[in-house]
Amino acid sequence: MSAAKSMQPAPGADTSPDSYLPAHGNGGYRVTRYTLDLDYKVGPNRLAGHAVIEGVATAPLSRFSLDLAGFRIGRVQVNGQSAKYTQRAGKLHVKPQRALQPGAAFMAEIRYTGNPRPITSPDWGDIGWDELTDGALVASQPVGAPSWFPCNDHPSDKAAYRISVTTSSAYTVLVTGNLLAKRQGASTTTWVFERPEPTASYLMGVHIGRYEQLPLAAEPVPQAAAVPARLRRLFDRDFRRQPDMMDALEGFFGPYPFGEYVIVVTDDELDEPIEAQGLSVFGANLLDGRGTHERLIVHELAHQWFGNSLTVAEWKHIWLNEGFATYAEWLWSAESGGLSEDVHARRWHAALAGRPADLRIGDPGVANLFDERVYKRGALTLHALRKLLGDTVFFALLKDWTSRHRHATVTTADFVALAEQHAGRPLGEFFDAWLFTPALPPFPG
């Protein structure tokens, strides 16, 4: 048997069970922890990485695969022994010296170097590690994590992380996690972060730039920001209500699920804000000193509950992220003296009624994963459910939902079952009409 043929993965080993993105994610194991030591040179955009991946086999594994794109591999070891490997089509295929048995813990070490680049996708453009004018950022949803570290790139495989980044001391480093240490060298600084909560690979990020670090609030969790000096005055105006938003969303959804919340504002423009675990990123173009984009600020904060703590088990359940975060915009609007939830709902119902009725938001298809109708009709679904159940039952349901599935993965069926439990009656017809029927139901009530 040729060496190339012997390295072919077992059927299903290099795919996930996701019906939308089966090429991202891998079978036969789950990851429990990533330890990443990264050395990054900003000017040449050069990254050297040492990844230690701790996992547990869920099937007999004579070989397994990881998602990784565009790097040269220096060494691969499994359980301290050198392992054979091949690379192709965004996958690193690994053959350990000894097969892994179901239930066995293992440790894979990969050393890699290269110039990190975003992953190009036909539906969403370039995603992943990206150079800024003076620095770098990561925007990985939904398939960009392999652009900077080897991983099991599927939202259902959530793990803990410890990440150290060494770069020029002229730059500030923010990673999605708690800062544990900062070690100064002759010309470089090493920043060490820990993300103890189970975290999907697409929600991890590294952000490097010339930032001022600002405290925002100490309660109910530490809230801080990293902002270019030239944008400080605009930031102070646009984000002045950030602590009030945190208090309001805790009132609606229950306790904030992480130990910190950090906002990064890049010195570059971004098409959209970037969602990460315990952290949100905004482009300079979203600051104007007039609060024009405040709805985006609360939308990204809401993702800490819906998307980050509660992560979709498959991408087809994306309305559970975006519909809930959009409804948080409407809740904040009413809470802060703006338009009521009912006015927002009526306006969007009228707008959607004039659009093609060709999308089932409970299963929108991969090309429509981030279609605006998923966001707005998802929020309308929640408003209709609130009308049906009444405020007391509805908000008790939301708090139970975030508490029961804290740091876990969720499906639409999970939410329907819990809603029926709180309602005390079947709700199949309701959810079928709002989530799985293309035609828009009448405005609730």
Nearest CA among 361, 362, 302 for reference residue 326: 302
Question: Could you give the CA distance from residue 310 to residue 305 in angstroms, rounded to a whole number?
Answer: 6
Is the dihedral angle over the CA atoms 341, 342, 348, 349 positive or is it negative?
positive
Does the annotation mark 314 as catalytic?
no
385 token code pair:
């459910």
**Which of these is catalytic: 40, 85, 211, 375?**
375
Q: Is 322 annotated as a binding residue?
A: yes
229 token code pair:
């000096």
Question: Could you give the CA distance from residue 301 to residue 48 in angstroms, rounded to a whole number?
Answer: 32
Question: Could you give the CA distance from residue 229 to residue 340 in angstroms, rounded to a whole number?
Answer: 36
| DSSP class of 61 | B
**Which of these is catalytic: 300, 314, 335, 341?**
300
| Sequence-ordered list of residues with C-beta below 8 angstroms from that of 345, at least 6 positions apart, any chain | 330, 379, 380, 383, 443, 444
Does the annotation mark 269 as catalytic?
no
200 token code pair:
């999907």
Q: How far is CA 367 from CA 121, 123, 320, 431, in A?
A: 11, 6, 17, 22
Q: How far is CA 20 from CA 139, 316, 411, in A?
A: 19, 7, 14
Tokens 């959009």 label which residue?
326
Tokens 């992943």 label which residue?
128
Residues forming beta bridges with residue 31, ordered by sequence position: 55
Nearest CA among 80, 186, 184, 171 for reference residue 131: 171
Question: Could you give the CA distance from residue 277 to residue 255 in angstroms, rounded to a whole number?
Answer: 15
Q: Is 341 annotated as a binding residue?
A: no
| Burial per residue of 336-347, b for 16 or more beta-carbon CB atoms within 10 angstroms, e otherwise | eeeeebbebbbe
Could you list the residues known to form a binding site for Zn(2+), using ranges: 299, 303, 322
Catalytic residues: 300, 375
